[in-house]
Each structure stands twice: as C-alpha cells, then as structure tokens.
Structure 1
C-alpha cells in the first residue's frame, strides 16, 4: 500500500504543478489583453494604428481617452483648455460658451461617434491634403477604395477625380475655409474660437454671420445630421502632445491627420508636402506659399509625420 500511496501523491503533485502552470498562463494572457486594451487595442487590418511596436514614441503621444468630438456630455471644458483655446485668436465678444453649447446640441446630433474600435474592425482611411504634388498622381481610384475619405478645407474633387478621387465621407473645415459639403459627407467643424461655433449655428438659423476676421460664407449646403465638431480639448492635445508646443497651434492638415489616427485603423496620407520642384501650392490654386510662414510649426509637423511613417503608423503616398 505504501508504494501506491507514494505514486498517488506524485500524480497529485504533477497535476497540481500543471494546474498552477496553466493558471499562470491564463493570468498572463488576461494581463496582456488588458494591456492591449489600455494601449488602444488592435484591429482586423494587416497593420493597425494601435499595434504595439518596439518604440514608446507613439504611445507617449497617443491618448486614446482624449475627447475627439464635442457633445453635450463632454462639453464642460477644463479651465486650462478654455484659457488656451479662447486665447488662440481674437475675442469672440460677449458670447457665453455654455449658452452656445446648449444651442448647438438643440440643433445638431448629440452623439458618441466612433466608439466601435476593437479586434474585429478594420477601418481604412485616406487623408487627402491639398498639395500640388497630387497633380498627375492618378491616385483617384486608390483613394476612393478607402472606407473613409477625409478632405481638408476647400480641396475640390470635381475636375480632379483622376488624381484626388470623387468620394468624400468627411470634410474638415472652419468658417474662413467653408465650402458646400456632399450630401453623404460629414461636415467636421474645426473651431478655433467661440465665434466659429456661433457661425455654425448661424448657418442653420439666422445666417447673419458674414464676417469673422475676414469675410465668410453665411451659409453652406450640408445636411444637419451630418455635422460634427472637433473638441477644443483635442486641438490642445494635438498641440501639446504631438507638437510639443511648437508654434502657436497646429495646422488643419496636421489636426486632421491625428484625428484620423483616433478614428481609423489604417491611415493612408495623400497630398501632403511640396511638389518635386520644392514649390508649395494647392493642386487647385497656383499661388505659391511656404508651409512654415504662419502660426503653424511646419518643420516640426513634417518631422512628426515622418516619424509616424517610420513607425508604420501611416502610409504616405508621394
């Protein structure tokens, strides 16, 4: 009986050891899953914006919890955000921000957007800039294959379809760059001041705002339930976290790129940068300019975009 008891005891120890081993492996996998969720999770694409890599550069900058779009629930601004945001441009008069928000969300959708991120989603996005380097590119069909096609300010499609495509799902603009928006597309307002929010209200009501610091359109063609508003906190986050406080505030193009990193799983970038001869102009406008002669830190934005390219967070098409 003694040998049998010893044998049985040995089996119990082995079984106990294996049980502990599998328990630890299970706990390890749980910890990894939680870690991945904290770091943004993964997706069903071949490569994902939030995939982990050897460098912490991206995750020191990327904040998955930042408010990207404004709604009534997240509309109360921290004092530091309000001071920074209202200090960007000229004073908007006596407009009360809280009253403006109340009016906004009596007119426009008060929703949570893009909360469907996860391992089963593969959302491909094309961020289409306005550089003259798009001319002759024949990227149009490739751009249109994306789930989201995000265009910036006035960049037209009509007459340029073979190079820039014809599809638009989002157009990011501010009052001074306003254009009519395709009926199927989202108007994503980039508010750099309270008066930009007042202008949006005016577009759908009295149409009385025709001037900010320059002449603006009193109305644009857009579907009311297709209106979104970038959160002031998000603009400040892009400036502080991604641009490390270089310049005065980010360019619309750079904000759009970081916006895409937050709502997309795979980001392709078109129409950024100079032409091959070094000149800077829009594909629809031949007037020359230099990207760094403004409030925007063009050199630092360019450096940051190249780092995202190096880390395979974006694909840039020249």
Structure 2
C-alpha cells in the first residue's frame, strides 16, 4: 500500500472483494500449462531502437506477444509487428485494445483496482493524478490483474529494493519468465546513439522515455543483461 505513498490507503480486502465481484478471476486459458511444446514469448518495449529494425515478422512469430502502455502498432508493423496477446497497462497508460487481446492491469495503487471496477461498471472514476478513461470496452473475462504480492516479489527478489517500485517493463519481463519457455526482448534501452525515446516519437531527445526517478533504470537493465548472459532470455537491441 506504500508503493506510491498513498496518503489514505483504502482497505485492500474490501477492494479485492468488489474487484472479483466484477472481474471473474477465472484466469487466462492461454496461460494454463496444458499446451505441449515450447512456448515462445516476445516482450516488446517502446524504445526508439525499434525504428528501422524490421523486427515485425520476427516478433509476430512468437506464441505470446506482450506489449505495454500506449504502444501503437498501426503504421509501425514492419518494425514492431501487429500481433498482441497480452497488453500491460495501468489506468494512466490505458489504450483501447483489439477484441482478442487480454488486458493485464498492473496495480501500482489501490485506486487502480477501484478504477477497473468503475471503468467496467459505473464509470465514476475519471481522474487519478491525471485524467483517465471513465469507461473501457475490454471484456471482463479478458481482464487479468498482476498480483500485488508478485510486484513485491519482483521488487524484493529481483530489484533488491532499488527504485521506488518496478517499471512496467521489468514486471513484464519477470511475468514472461514465469509463463514462457523462451523469452525474447525487443525495444528495451536507448538507441545506438544513446537517445531515450519512444519509437513513435519524432524527437529523439524527447523526455517522456527518460529515467523517471521512481525506477532504477540502470539496475533493471543490469538484471536483463545478466539474464541474457546466462541464456535465460535473448535481447534484440535494434538500431
């Protein structure tokens, strides 16, 4: 409850009860371990190093394609692909998703859980610390919730307490390690010139993709680099 320093944390248990009254919580059949064979996952970040990478077909060849936050694909298919199976968002980064895409809510604060309830029913929450969509069109059985205890596990065990809380990117990576046999990362880190920006931005020095101060970008990068060095994941660095 202190991840984002909530001044008046609400009762989480009451919020959970309300949440699962609205969201079935039956789980995603795609994530069940009944499938035979090697499950390949692409975790697609939003770095500008995807520009002119021509990774699109390679990304789309994976069984699961995980994207996060705004992540547009229209107009960028050659570099980022068009397939998405799971999209990681929080209220402030929500975007409308295709019908066959599962939304994975990453709850950084109690209000995020309350927003899911509101956005699929009454639409009463329209502002957190910025305006957020009051209603969303995602089917309730396609809404998954990233467990807060798993966020704490990532923070304690993988990041060793670095930063104020984990980024959506590292949470997506650790999630994929637990559900996939092969994990390929695309669109993480700066481009070859050291610029931090999103692949859909024309300004390579745009500030939105710089270190935010709440995440320890260097430590998170070291985690993925270490995983790659021991052949647990592959990192495709683009341009």
TM-score, length-scaled by structure 1: 0.70
> Taking CA–CA contacts closer than 8 Å with sequence separation of 6 or more, which of the two structures ends up with the larger relative contact order?
2
- Partner SS, residue 207 of structure 2: coil
The Cα offsets for residues 260-290 of structure 1, whole Å up to 9 and x where unpaired, read as 1011111010000101111000011232356
Match of 2:18 in 1: 103
Is the 2:25–2:141 Cα contact (8 Å) retained in structure 1?
no
Q: Which has the higher helix share?
A: 1
| d(CA) in 1 for partners of 2:186, 2:72 | 14
Match of 2:69 in 1: 153
Is the 1:274–1:280 Cα contact (8 Å) retained in structure 2?
yes
Aligned residue among 126, 133, 138 for 1:222: 138
* 1:188 is the counterpart of 2:104: yes
Match of 2:33 in 1: 116
Gaps in structure 2 of 5+ consecutive residues: none
- Partner SS, residue 125 of structure 2: coil
The aligned runs of 1:1-318 (5 Å cut-off) are 86-91=1-6, 93=8, 95-113=10-28, 114-116=31-33, 120-285=36-201, 286=203, 287-288=206-207, 291-318=210-237
The Cα offsets for residues 10-60 of structure 1, whole Å up to 9 and x where unpaired, read as xxxxxxxxxxxxxxxxxxxxxxxxxxxxxxxxxxxxxxxxxxxxxxxxxxx
The Cα offsets for residues 164-215 of structure 1, whole Å up to 9 and x where unpaired, read as 0111100000001011011100000000111000000011111111111222
- Partner SS, residue 171 of structure 2: helix
Is the 1:126–1:269 Cα contact (8 Å) retained in structure 2?
yes
Is the 1:92–1:194 Cα contact (8 Å) retained in structure 2?
no
- Partner SS, residue 104 of structure 2: strand
| d(CA) in 1 for partners of 2:88, 2:211 | 21
- Which range moved further: 98-107 or 135-144? 98-107
The offset of 1:95, in angstroms, is 3.4
TM-score, length-scaled by structure 2: 0.92
- Partner SS, residue 179 of structure 1: coil
The offset of 1:108, in angstroms, is 1.4
Larger Rg: 1
- Partner SS, residue 198 of structure 2: coil
| d(CA) in 2 for partners of 1:202, 1:112 | 20
